[in-house]
Amino acid sequence: MNQEVIDRLRQVLEKVAVVDDETELLVYECDGLPLFKHKPDVVVFPRNAEQVAQVVRIANEYRIPFLPRGAGTGLSGGALAVEGGIVIELQRMNRILSIDVENRIAVVQPGVVNLHISQAAAPHGLYYAPDPSSQMSCSIGGNVAENSGGPHCLKYGMTTNHILAIEAVTSEGEIIRLGNPAGETIGLDLLGTIVGSEGTFAIVTEITVRLLPKPQAVKTLLAAFHSVEQCSQTVSDVIAAGIVPAALEMVDAKTIEAVEASVYKAGYPRDAAAALLIEVDGFREGLEETSDAIVEICRRNQAYDVRVAKDDDERARLWLGRKGAFGAMGRLAPDMITMDAVIPRTRLPEVLAAIDRMSEHYGLAVANVFHAGDGNLHPLILFDSRYQDQVDKIFGMSEDIMKLCVDVGGSLSGEHGIGYEKKDFMDLVFTDVDLQTMMRVKLVFNPHGLLNPSKIFPTRRGCTEVGKNTTTSTAEISKRVEAVLLGVPEKAQR
């Protein structure tokens, strides 16, 4: 990075939209995972897709790495400028462009806060279903990049199930459109390839989302247990009974302790070893029977207290505690790392017990609050970064948790992504052939490796090759991706 590049960027953007002051850049040295820090050389604030494209073209011209960033709430180091370069901050692209009530869709820019979509759609009886715990601050562009989940994704699906179309800037500065708001597209699902690619395939600049009608009725239950095993078994039993709740969340004793001592106090039972927050929604007819069936399952598993929220205010309080749990952890320790892995629901008791043993072995407290219905664990490892010995232990414990989850048939991430944090765990799940195939797909979208480098792929496997092909159209991208999936050698492609 040199002054010439800075001057070129200031020709494209307003002067105040290009930040290179060393002190101001400290704000962008990490995302929601402060364990890793890398400061960018410059941060730019575009207001539209054309400005994003111009910045990308300049980066390509000078062979400078660049990456998109939204609200910075990501938890896997996905917005980390590992190789310095240009951070393209999208928070000024924060307009809801349209809400089409008749077709139940909204068109939004990537910097729009997740919750604001539902708030804007609420007067029309509609809402946006994916609801990460950070929905009051996370942006929709980041949700698309990570394929974010949330408590209600158990019933309604992840972000990818609610994205109909996008506008994006390719790694070489071309503006493309993928998807179809009117329905399924023909051919390869390139839209589905972009969603969840963690900002390494393209920079999304506009998103068409699906809106759903608000359910007629909602019931929210809180069940308290004296043991984690009883609580975990209840999760499996509810699903086995053919009931798919809108949400099925678990909080353990440490989480309850933190929440009840914080501004997120929700009235959770302080004497519980674990509790389930269960929500069912849909038509009024039959909802009472479903709720009663869940209560019976909880009682059968020795729940000593089962409470049904009596009104919207109590329901909101119960959810405030769950969604504020991560923030409440400051009551227990000054620092925290949030893990993210998925395991079969039936293995919850043994995995949680094993994590508890790891906590004792490493001398680091662990709180558990997670999407129990789909087995998406979020162990929160608590530590104090002022003590290097505690920081050192984090890495060993993190790897042990990942290996444990994989060994029981799980995967590395449910919604936070691989990013920088878990890239060296990828070969726990994937073979060299798998990784090289993935890398070839990435090179179709990101041939020079400048877009968000050093993410997802393990450095110890040497998955850092850079290609020479360039792509300028969706047809060419589709052709090359199809060739990779069919196993066509690169020389034959060219």
Q: Which two tokens stand for residue 398?
A: 């993190």
Closest CA to 489 of 449, 427, 438, 440: 440
Strands 66-69 and 86-89: parallel
Q: Which two tokens stand for residue 144?
A: 């698309």
Could you write out the DSSP letters of every residue in 116-181?
HHHHHHGGGTEE-----TTTTT-BHHHHHHHT---TTHHHH--GGGGEEEEEEEETTS-EEEEE-T
Q: Which two tokens stand for residue 181?
A: 């708001």
Residue partners of 234: CB distance under 8 A and separation at least 6 = 223, 225, 276, 297, 298, 301, 303
For the chain, which domains are there?
3-89 (3.30.43.10), 96-213 (3.30.465.10), 215-331 (3.30.70.2190), 333-429 (3.30.70.2740), 432-493 (no CATH)
pLDDT > 60? residue 493: no
Predicted confidence at residue 468, as pLDDT, reads: 56
**pLDDT tens digits along 185-200:** 788 999 999 999 999 9
Could you write out the DSSP letters of every residue in 407-455?
HTT-BS-SSS--TTTSGGGGGGT--HHHHHHHHHHHHHH-TTS-BS-S-
pLDDT > 80? residue 153: yes
User: What is d(CA 1, CA 331) in angstroms, rounded to the nearest whole number?
Assistant: 41
Cα-based angle 383, 389, 390 (whole degrees, multiple of 5): 10
Query: What interhelical angle do 287-300 and 228-240 show, nearest 10?
Result: 140
| Integer angstrom CA distances of residue 316 from 179, 221, 366 | 35, 12, 26
User: What is d(CA 81, CA 107) in angstroms, rounded to the nearest whole number?
Assistant: 29
Q: Is the pTM of this model over 0.85?
A: yes
Mean pLDDT value across residues 29-36: 95
User: What is d(CA 163, CA 425) in angstroms, rounded to the nearest whole number?
Assistant: 29
Q: Which two tokens stand for residue 424?
A: 């060296």
Predicted confidence at residue 56, as pLDDT, reads: 98
User: What is d(CA 94, CA 32) in angstroms, rounded to the nearest whole number?
Assistant: 20
Greater model confidence, 254 or 473: 254
Q: In this prediction, what percent of the chain has a pLDDT beyond 90?
A: 91
pLDDT band at 114 (very low <50, low <70, confident <90, very high): very high
The four Cα atoms 268, 270, 272, 275 give a dihedral, to 10 degrees, of: 20
Predicted confidence at residue 186, as pLDDT, reads: 81
Whole-number CA gyration radius for the chain: 23
The answer to whether 174 and 472 are in contact (CB under 8 A) is: yes
**pLDDT tens digits along 240-295:** 999 999 999 999 999 999 999 999 999 999 999 999 999 999 999 999 999 999 99
pLDDT band at 235 (very low <50, low <70, confident <90, very high): very high
pLDDT band at 451 (very low <50, low <70, confident <90, very high): very high
pLDDT band at 467 (very low <50, low <70, confident <90, very high): low
Whole-number average pLDDT of the chain: 94
Mean pLDDT value across residues 367-382: 97
Closest CA to 314 of 267, 271, 354, 358: 267
| Integer angstrom CA distances of residue 423 from 6, 369, 390, 418 | 31, 23, 22, 6
Predicted confidence at residue 232, as pLDDT, reads: 95
- Residue 327 corresponds to which amino acid? G
Mean pLDDT value across residues 422-437: 95
